[in-house]
Structure 1
Amino acid sequence: MIHNVFSWWSLLCAVSVINIVAWLLSAAALKRRQPLLPADAYAVRRMQLLLSAGYVLGCAFRSVLPVFDVPRLCLVDSWLSSVVVGRSVATVAELCFVAQWALILRETSLATDSRVGRTTAAMMVPLIAIAETCSWYAVLTTSNIGHVFEETLWGVSAALLVLSLVEIWPRCSARLRPLLALWGSAGLAYVFFMFLVDVPMYWGRWLADEARGRHYMSLAQGLLDVSSRWVVSHRLEDWQSEMVWMSLYFSVAVWLSIALIHAPVPERRLTS
């Protein structure tokens, strides 16, 4: 159990170091396997490695310099802890992460001739790009309604991924089905979490702000604010609502990103 902010922060930092080491080991393992892999399979894994680097490093940065965006809270008194820096890093990292999923889904869909999977793969990055725009709106204006739309789009993307895996299931080899089942189960759990916990949380915060008559910033005011103001807080009560999702996001999600580097890519079917 986390008793204070420093214990939690130390845990995040330790996990980020482990994650970077795991990525470096994965890069070395992939290099050793290169002569054994077909050129196209290696190219896919190489792209996964590069995209994973963006996510691993982005999450490590945010672990060392955590930021609670809307109230502008941080743990380290530095411009690097400003929301404009943290949100920019998060945007790049999250687009890298969703691109990993889109890439593996695209390759699997091409191999199994799944039109649903190909369509979903093409939609995922644009959907999350829109979600990131909603996140920026929430951060700049301090209106949590932006986070409601952001998290809804993440949940919808995960739901589409799960539906695609269900459609692909009968088309793939028995050897790959346990992996598809694992991905589908994780995706389904994520969908339930988003729509039963995360989206309602932000919706509740927005309703509470509306009830209090909160004044929201304009986009221009918000941009100036996130670039120039950060509030250092080490109080447990200020960070408690963020600890669970940050801890899971900077650990389990990163491990999934690294695992995707080594995920098997089915051979494409030959067409006559």
Structure 2
Amino acid sequence: MPLLWRTKSNPLALWWALLTLASIANIAVWFFLYRELHSQALGGSSGIELMLLLCAAYVFGCAFRSVLPRADVQRICLFDHWLSSVFVGRSVATVAEVCFVAQWAIILGQLGRLTGADTTLNIAWVIVPLIVIAECCSWYAVLTTNYLYNAIENSIWAVAFLIVGVALCRLLPEFHGLVRWVLVAAIAGIVLYLAFLVTVDVPMYLARWKDGLADGSKLLGLLEGLRDVRTRWVVTHDITHWKGEIAWMSLYFTGAVWASLALCACYSLDDYLPRYRTEAAAVSWTAPSLPHAVSSDMLLGAFSR
């Protein structure tokens, strides 16, 4: 494999090296979390085990796409290998992205049940189906090379995380101290993400779609596109071909992965959340209590039987 492009004079090589280093660091953090939290999973907290699994799918999936980056509709990549095919990359991305939003759904469900916030619980149920629809739009865009469906896909992501932000805002009055600050930080991150989607990402895909209409670019049929994504990839080390991808890929493979890791860590703190409930919220809503004679061990025993 030619190595000439991987020189200090090529900014694309530096970008790829930074993505690769970030991926290695992210994987190391995941293994650290696994070591620290797996004991809780062994203790019977299957929720943590599921969160670790979902986080692994996203962290390792993004690492794979960082080491072998590709732009799906353009069919361009950095390395001439069958793993660089769009079919492989899009398949990995689909699994990883559904797992990522499933993490958000689990966290919202955890906080919604603790606080009795119906708004948060309802949003937890909605966001995964929304992203499944977005993934279908993404696949249609990739197969047909129709950028309009990339714009629709990212618009659905914007709607999904807009309502996630609403769910987190609903939780703000329920907590104080560190938990409230974590919620504020998450909301701020979502605001920045939405701003990027609305001002950069979606307009970029709409502009590409309009350019394609203007120059009469031929769209592919679904079967033709399926064959194309499996067999055609164009290796290019020209920075001009990647300029439109570098911004979103850099944010996606760093900030979004850090969010996934943070969700996994936050979920493990379930036992600490009640102490950060605001006094008014704790008084206004309490979980239904069992008779004093019934212990949690007895309840678990009944279910096990």
Give the TM-score normalised by the residue count of structure 2. 0.83
Instruction: Show the counterpart of 1:26.
Output: 33
Aligned partner of 1:252 in structure 2 is 255
The equivalent of 2:23 in structure 1 is 16
Q: Secondary structure at the match of 1:250?
A: helix
Question: Which residue, out of 205, 223, 226, partners 2:226?
Answer: 223
* 154-163 or 206-215: bigger deviation: 206-215
- Comparing 96-105 with 7-16, which one deviates more in the overlay? 7-16
8 Å Cα contact 2:55-2:264 kept in structure 1 = yes
Q: What does residue 77 of structure 1 align with?
A: 80
State how far apart, in whole Å, the 1-side matches of 2:177 and 2:66 are: 39
Instruction: Report if the CA contact (8 A) 1:134-1:146 is conserved.
Output: yes
1:56-79 deviations in Å (ceiling 9; x for gaps): 110011011111111100111111
Cross-structure match for 2:140:
137
User: Partner of 1:97 in structure 2?
Assistant: 100
Counterpart in the other structure of 2:302? none
2:128 paired residue among 125, 129, 133? 125
**Structure-2 change in CA distance of 1:210 and 1:49 (3 Å):** same
Cα deviation digits, residues 239-260 of structure 1 (max 9, x gap): 1211111111111111111111
What amino acid does structure 1 have at the position aligned with 2:219? Answer: Y
Show the counterpart of 2:70.
Answer: 67
Counterpart of 2:111 in structure 1: which amino acid? T
| Separation of aligned partners in 2, 1:149 and 1:249 | 18
| 1:2–1:183 Cα change, 3 Å | farther
What does the per-residue CA deviation read over 1:118-155, in whole Å, with 9 as the maximum and x for residues that have no partner?
A: 11110111000000000000000000011011000000
Give 1:151's aligned amino acid: N
Question: How far 1:45 moved relative to its partner?
Answer: 2.4
Question: Do 1:132 and 1:150's aligned partners in 2 also have CA atoms closer than 8 Å?
Answer: yes
User: Is the partner of 2:288 in helix, strand or coil?
Assistant: coil
Question: Could you tell me which residue of structure 1 aligns to residue 292 of structure 2?
Answer: none
Which stretch of the first structure deviates more once superposed, 178-187 or 261-270? Answer: 261-270
Q: Aligned partners of 1:3 and 1:241: how far apart in 2?
A: 17
Q: Which residue of 2 aligns with 1:106?
A: 109
CA distance in 1 between counterparts of 2:61 and 2:218 reads 32
Q: 1:178 to 1:218 in 2, by over 3 A?
A: same
1:12 is displaced (CA, Å) by 1.2
Counterpart for residue 270 of structure 1: 287
Runs of 4+ residues deviating >6 angstroms: none
Q: Which has the larger radius of gyration?
A: 2
Change (3 A) 1:113 1:136: same
Q: 1:173, 1:269 → 2: CA distance?
A: 17
Q: Is 1:157 the equivalent of 2:160? A: yes
Which residue does 2:207 correspond to in 1?
204
| Distance across 2 between alignment mates of 1:110 and 1:43 | 17
Match of residue 4, structure 1, among 1, 11, 26: 11
Assess if the C-alpha contact under 8 Å between 1:45 and 1:262 holds in 2: no
Q: How many residues align?
A: 268
Corresponding residue for residue 55 of structure 1: 58
Amino-acid identity (%)? 43
Deviation track 1:74-132 (CA, whole Å, cap 9, x = no partner) reads 11111110000000000000011111111101110111111111111101110000000
**What's the TM-score once normalised by structure 1's chain length?**
0.93
Provide structure 2 residue ranges, at least 5 long, that are not aligned to the other structure.
Answer: 1-7, 275-284, 290-305
Q: Relative to 1, partners in 2 of residues 1:30 and 1:13: Cα closer, same or farther, differing over 3 Å?
A: same
**Which runs of structure 2 are paired with 1:224-239 in the superposition (5 Å)?**
224-239=227-242
Structure 1 residue 33: Cα displacement: 5.8
1:46 match:
49
Structure with the bigger RCO (C-alpha within 8 Å, sep 6+) is: 1
8 Å contact kept, 2:58–2:97: yes
Cα distance, 1:171 vs structure 2: 2.5
- Output the CA distance in 2 between the equivalents of 1:2 and 1:51: 38
